[in-house]
Structure 1
Amino acid sequence: MTVAHCETVSAISLGLPQTCAIPEAKGTLPKQMFYLKPPVSARLKQRFVGDVDSITMLALLRPNTIGVAQGAKVREILVMGIKQNCPGAPVEVMEHIAKLRSSSNILFVCLRDASLAKGDNTSNVTVEYDGGTARKGSGDWQCAFAVQRTLPVRAGHQGEAQTQTYVSDWQAAKDATLSVNGDTLDHVWQNLCAQAIFGDSDGSDLDARLAKQAAIAELTAQITKLEGDHTRAKDGTKRNEIFVKLHKARKQLEALQ
């Protein structure tokens, strides 16, 4: 069976079992199916039209396709390739697709031409061939993984659960791999998320790891601001107040790290 592929990436190239790979004839998903019904805002439609070249279903992970038990929460995992025309991962597009397919967990595989990362506008130039057109680029493909997760509700807080999209660092598409680990589909999804977010396959205590990551990012930003405020402060009393806050933030960051 010839399997679906998004440029150089397929379920097989990612290291996924062939039993979960989508046949090539069924892999292509027209972009219009995601933004015509229901209709979307003009801004989001432009993201689909301008930022996305094609969307391909690469793999479908279910108990019968990867040989694991059904999960209590996760019923299936889609691996979806997005060939993009923009430098950064098309987060708005992925979040909309995830919302439409809320019954499925989706791992996105974003593909971009390496020239986009360098700000080379030639990747957006079309050239004619045999009466048609093709996008000109380097032909050197890069890959990033993306997943959307529901954030844990903080103690004492009420309201709707919030979601966040996590995007991995970019790497050469030829080096991009995923591993299917876990006894249930719940465990497989946690481990895939860990691979996309942290670059390892340990999905245990993932929410705690994400909370720690967020706290480190927040403290790092706070320290950067306080350092700038301290440098600019002219009043001695004000400088001392800022220094106390800066020292406290640094100690908190040190403890987390």
Structure 2
Amino acid sequence: MIDFPGNTLVKRRLPKEAFYKHLPLSAALKSKFVSDVDCIILENSLTRKNLNLARDGEIKEIMLLSITLKKQNFDGKIVEAIARQNPHQLIFLIIYGDEFQLAVYQGRLYRTDWMKEKELSLTLSGNTLDEIWDNLVRQTAISSKTVLSRKDQTIHEQLKMQDEINRLHMVIQKTEKAAWKEQQPKKRFELYTKLQEYKKQLEEITHGQA
């Protein structure tokens, strides 16, 4: 569940036109905005005042926006465009039928896997909005327990580490498929050699030896 205080609740529908008419979008992306997005709702607004935070920070407001989709396979550039052009820090709740996904833009767009409502979890933790934002990003963008255990690292360092883990998973999967299809023994051996190196790199990172 999304465990935000009741006094942060806004529940205000935002016209789609306010986004795609004023954002610097390509014609193709504007078309996808119309065809992919059903509605956008400002669910919650987090401020120092309504969270009763004693300390101030650089961030003045964090918003939770829900985006209900017309189709599940949507273009993530829609969410990215909204985040990049908004002065506030935004967490996105993407909804399609009874499936949910969290998303955040932090240098690039991060999205969780699709999940059922009972699996959805987002909680507030921190003494300033800056700390709360970092922890919301962690909950959305970071899936590796090893990365989350690195308490000495900044959010940017943790994201960089998570990105490398994601990259290695992708290249391992790609190399495994290529090795399986390769007919020439020499090339197949070269691919298996690369595969073992990628797996070794992943092992080092995920076991905290990197």
Matches within 5 A, 1:144-155: 144-149=101-106
Distance change >3 Å, CA 84–CA 106, structure 1 → 2:
same
Of the three residues 75, 81, 85, the one matched with 1:100 is 85
Q: Shift of the alpha carbon at 1:28? A: 1.0
8 Å Cα contact 2:93-2:101 kept in structure 1 = yes
1-structure distance, mates of 2:172, 2:100: 32
Unaligned residue ranges in structure 1 (runs of 5+): 1-12, 114-140, 150-162
2-structure distance, mates of 1:172, 1:244: 40
8 Å Cα contact 1:146-1:166 kept in structure 2 = yes
Q: Shift of the alpha carbon at 1:210? A: 2.2
1-structure distance, mates of 2:178, 2:99: 39
Report the TM-score when normalising by structure 2. Answer: 0.82
8 Å Cα contact 2:23-2:81 kept in structure 1 = no
Amino acid at match of 2:136: L
2-structure distance, mates of 1:144, 1:95: 15
Unaligned residue ranges in structure 2 (runs of 5+): none
Give CA-to-partner distance per residue, 1:21-53, whole Å, 9 cap, x none. 11x4xx010000011125632211112211111
Report the TM-score when normalising by structure 1. Answer: 0.68
Q: Shift of the alpha carbon at 1:224? A: 3.6
SS at match of 1:37: coil
Rg comparison, structure with higher value: 1
SS at match of 1:78: strand
1:64 match: 49
1:84 match: 69
2-structure distance, mates of 1:227, 1:38: 41
Aligned residue pairs, count: 198
Of the three residues 32, 54, 66, the one matched with 2:39 is 54
The percent identity for this pair of structures is 29
1:124 match: none
2:15 match: 30
2:165 match: 216
SS at match of 1:106: strand
1:20 match: 8
Q: Does 1:166 align with 2:110?
A: yes
Aligned-residue Cα RMSD (Å) equals 2.5
Of the three residues 96, 120, 136, the one matched with 1:176 is 120
1-structure distance, mates of 2:110, 2:142: 10
2-structure distance, mates of 1:219, 1:178: 27
1-structure distance, mates of 2:92, 2:205: 30
1:110 match: 94
